Amino acid sequence: MNREDLHQHYSEKRPEIESRLEEFKALREASDKRLFKELVLRYFQLHRVRLRRLGKPQKS
């Protein structure tokens, strides 16, 4: 991915990225339990995306 591709990708995803950044800002004040839950959720989301890219079946 070159610089122009990255810029276009960011431009297309900007509303989603900014929304997630706002969520992240709100989490700064959250409890450790809430932060851990968010971390685990993001980990599994990333894992699922990687499995899809590899074409592996997913469990629901």
State the distance between the two ends of the chain, measured CA to CA, in whole angstroms.
Answer: 31
Q: 58 or 16, which is more confident?
A: 16
- How high is the pLDDT of residue 4? 93
What per-residue string of b and e applies to 36-57 under the rule 16 or more CB within 10 Å gives b? eeeeeeeeeeeeeeeeeeeeee
Give the tens place of pLDDT for each residue, 4-36. 988 999 899 999 989 988 988 888 888 999 889
Containing H/E element for 53?
helix 32-54
Domain ranges across the chain: 3-54
